[in-house]
Chains A and B, each alone.
Chain A
Amino acid sequence: MGSTRLRRLVDAGVLHREQGLLLVPVAIYWGRSPDKERSWFKLLFSENWDVAGRTRKLFATLLHGRNTLLRFSEPVALHAIVQEQTEAELAWRKVARILRVHFRQRRAATLGPDLSHRRTLVNVVLRDPQVRRIIGAEAARPGRNRSGSGKGRAQVRARDRRAHLLPDDPHRRAFSRLALEPHLRWHRAASRGLAGFGRRGKGDRLRAVPPQPFRLPAARLRRLPPGPEHSARRGRHQPEPAGGRLDPAARRRVLPLRRSFKGNRLYAAVFSAYLHQILARGHAIEYFVEGGRSRTGRLLTPKAGMLAMTVHSYTQYPRRPVVFAPVYFGYEKLIEGDSFISELRGEEKKKESLLGLIRSVRALRDRFGKVYVNVGQPIDIEALLDEARPDWRESVRPGEDRPTWMNAVVDDLGARIMTGINAAAAVTPISLLATTVLSTPKQSMGEFELMRQIDLSRELLGRFRYSESVTLPDWPAADIISHGVKLGVIRRAEHPLGDVIWMPERQAVLMTYFRNNVQHLFAVPASIACCFIQGQRLHTRNCSGSCG
């Protein structure tokens, strides 16, 4: 590695030390400026780990001339790394090593890590000690033949099939392509709290943990450098009819996992080993804490499966710091509104199908308002482990089962993530409308009263700050109402004494979701208000006792 010209330059620099040669590494990435990307064609020619030929570079220059990142780095002073008697050969090797490592790290920090071939990954997963042990145990069961023909061979085939269910060729460009999805009908998402994470990006691995898997806005997170390249989803592992998947892109970005691992140790081991490989290679992952949010919009107790696997993986090889980033998504309208209503009536959750996918295209014609993405305070897993179990580094051995003490840590982590999501809530205009209108007996209110109530709610939230990450809408109340009318959430009935704003019954059911999203922010002011229902005066001690 290293060009002849650079070598000649280093030789000359060593020969003429008195000149003081400063090597300034400059990395240029075509199509990797921290900006939005709208064209699929452009993404084909965006920067990646492959060596670009001249034709590709020409296209990249033409297409990404205005989307290019040029990064200057700290200069490397030749006289600082080369001693008086150092030979030119040794100086060259030192310089080459420094530059090689520097450019590789810069590239990884900008583009994400180099992704390996799928086959290599599958082989590594199958060589995992835990996977091999379980395969051995399965083969040793009565009726199984470890090395011979028949069931033994069939089992190996099944194992390979299982491993090959893992997604293939996870390519950055494919993930980036998905970042275009929100532009279908959603307005630009408002993201807050991302700036702090950009600075953390060089060494730390981010695990973005939103509460609920709505696909489109989740892609917004992928713009964060280094963005989540993988998204773990349940129930998407089944091959679709006609041998392919409904969403070919989903195959490249999703870690498919079954709804339950019960009774299938081999599958659990293969998946765990695969996740470990993904984490050990330093990929950023986004996953949805299952059981995170109910159909009525309330946060639930998190299920610990993915969290436990992540923590266990980290404790086995704690080389890369892992940080969990709780992510709050604030919506204004639900794309799955109909299915939510039917599920609330007690109907079974419908499975995804080709017909359902075609039907859902119609839904994209509706207005969905804005999506608000807030990122909460990061949770450092190392600090959490140190706090819970100072000797965790000695008590966990690679390849061993998860220790029992880790369950408490995972539960604590889950609770912190959920608290972090709540603490980063985005109060949207629609959630303010929902909170106000749903508190009336008939979901209707005079326009003037509604405006006053919206202002009061906003003032309460502004004066009682649940956390610094909570965001409030700064629109005038009249604009909030007209926004709600535009989205079809509320309707206006004209009246000579003043318009009446009312909410249709179907919308009222759906709006409970948005009200419940932010209800925790009102808990303390509401509790204090409750104390004064009976009388105007109350002792501070009694008031704080009542509020818990």
Chain B
Amino acid sequence: MRRFARFVSRPWYWLAGKVFGTWARPTVQPDDPPALLADCSGEVCYVLETGGLADTLALERACRQHGLPSPFEAFAVPQRESSRVVAFAPPARHAGAATEPRGLDAAAAAGRCRRAAS
């Protein structure tokens, strides 16, 4: 199923990237992003603030320009998703939806962590 989703999504991302590339020209800072990863070793995973297709395509374009691993490249850390890009706080999908954890769940989670830390 996952392979099928990947098979379907690849051409879609490719097409969207082509359309996006004709128009968008993001300014990248710092000038040499690979220098940030020069002293590090490990699997790179990009964390976007809110995510979305446009952000992912902008990131993919910047990575391609600067020789960084593509957000769509295969990922060595075993997990459900295969892409290297995740959103930290994706916008709610519909009115009333919320990112997790929230409210009492968050408070309970914080309490559990504090106990674990002590």
CA distance A99 to B88 in the complex (A): 8
Whether B86 and A21, one on each chain, are in contact in the complex, defined by CB atoms closer than 8 angstroms, is no
CA distance A99 to B99 in the complex (A): 15
How many chain B residues touch A (CB < 8 A): the figure is 50
Contact of B54 among A4, A61, A96 (CB under 8 A): A61
State whether the Cβ of B109 lies closer than 8 Å to any Cβ in chain A.
yes
Distance in Å: Cβ of B70 to nearest Cβ of chain A: 13
State whether the Cβ of B5 lies closer than 8 Å to any Cβ in chain A.
no
The residues in B between 41 and 82 inclusive whose CB is less than 8 angstroms from any CB of A are: 41-52, 54-55, 58-59, 62, 76-81
Measured between beta carbons, the chain A residues less than 8 angstroms from B80 are 8
Whether B43 and A20, one on each chain, are in contact in the complex, defined by CB atoms closer than 8 angstroms, is yes
Measured between beta carbons, the chain B residues less than 8 angstroms from A35 are 27
* Interface of A (DSSP majority class): mixed
Whether A23 and B40, one on each chain, are in contact in the complex, defined by CB atoms closer than 8 angstroms, is no
Measured between beta carbons, the chain B residues less than 8 angstroms from A72 are 28-30, 33, 36, 62
Whether B49 and A22, one on each chain, are in contact in the complex, defined by CB atoms closer than 8 angstroms, is no
CA distance A54 to B53 in the complex (A): 10
Whether A93 and B113, one on each chain, are in contact in the complex, defined by CB atoms closer than 8 angstroms, is yes
CA distance A27 to B58 in the complex (A): 11
Distance in Å: Cβ of A391 to nearest Cβ of chain B: 39
CA distance A12 to B75 in the complex (A): 12
Chain A minimum-CB-distance residue to B29: A71
Measured between beta carbons, the chain A residues less than 8 angstroms from B50 are 51-52
Contact of B45 among A1, A9, A69 (CB under 8 A): A9
Whether A12 and B43, one on each chain, are in contact in the complex, defined by CB atoms closer than 8 angstroms, is no
Whether B78 and A28, one on each chain, are in contact in the complex, defined by CB atoms closer than 8 angstroms, is no
State whether the Cβ of A75 lies closer than 8 Å to any Cβ in chain B.
yes
Whether A21 and B42, one on each chain, are in contact in the complex, defined by CB atoms closer than 8 angstroms, is yes
Chain B minimum-CB-distance residue to A96: B88
0/1 interface trace, chain A 29-51, chain B, CB 8 Å (1 if under): 01001110000000000000001
Measured between beta carbons, the chain A residues less than 8 angstroms from B55 are 28
Whether A103 and B45, one on each chain, are in contact in the complex, defined by CB atoms closer than 8 angstroms, is no
CA distance A2 to B99 in the complex (A): 7
State whether the Cβ of A415 lies closer than 8 Å to any Cβ in chain B.
no
Whether A66 and B25, one on each chain, are in contact in the complex, defined by CB atoms closer than 8 angstroms, is yes
CA distance A8 to B83 in the complex (A): 13
Distance in Å: Cβ of B59 to nearest Cβ of chain A: 6
State whether the Cβ of B3 lies closer than 8 Å to any Cβ in chain A.
no
Distance in Å: Cβ of B107 to nearest Cβ of chain A: 12
CA distance A54 to B54 in the complex (A): 10
Distance in Å: Cβ of B110 to nearest Cβ of chain A: 7
Given the known interface contacts A6-B47, A28-B55, A28-B58, the answer about A19 and B42 at a Cβ–Cβ threshold of 8 Å is yes
Whether A93 and B88, one on each chain, are in contact in the complex, defined by CB atoms closer than 8 angstroms, is no
The residues in A between 1 and 19 inclusive whose CB is less than 8 angstroms from any CB of B are: 1-6, 8-9, 12-13, 16, 19
Contact of A5 among B27, B36, B86, B110 (CB under 8 A): B86
Measured between beta carbons, the chain B residues less than 8 angstroms from A4 are 100
0/1 interface trace, chain A 46-90, chain B, CB 8 Å (1 if under): 000001111001101110011011111111011100000001011
CA distance A35 to B25 in the complex (A): 13
Whether B77 and A19, one on each chain, are in contact in the complex, defined by CB atoms closer than 8 angstroms, is yes
Contact of A3 among B62, B88, B110, B112 (CB under 8 A): B88
Distance in Å: Cβ of A17 to nearest Cβ of chain B: 10
Measured between beta carbons, the chain B residues less than 8 angstroms from A26 are 46-49, 59
Contact of B27 among A22, A62, A69, A93 (CB under 8 A): A69
Distance in Å: Cβ of B91 to nearest Cβ of chain A: 6
Contact of B89 among A3, A12, A54 (CB under 8 A): A3
State whether the Cβ of B24 lies closer than 8 Å to any Cβ in chain A.
yes
Chain A minimum-CB-distance residue to B112: A89
Sample 26 A-B pairs with CB under 8 A, ordered by A number: A1-B89, A1-B99, A2-B100, A3-B87, A3-B89, A5-B81, A5-B86, A9-B45, A19-B76, A19-B77, A21-B42, A21-B45, A24-B45, A25-B88, A26-B59, A27-B49, A51-B91, A58-B54, A61-B54, A65-B24, A68-B24, A68-B25, A68-B27, A72-B30, A72-B33, A93-B110
Known A66-B23, A69-B29, A77-B42; 7 more pairs at CB < 8 Å: A3-B87, A21-B43, A52-B50, A70-B29, A75-B44, A90-B117, A96-B88
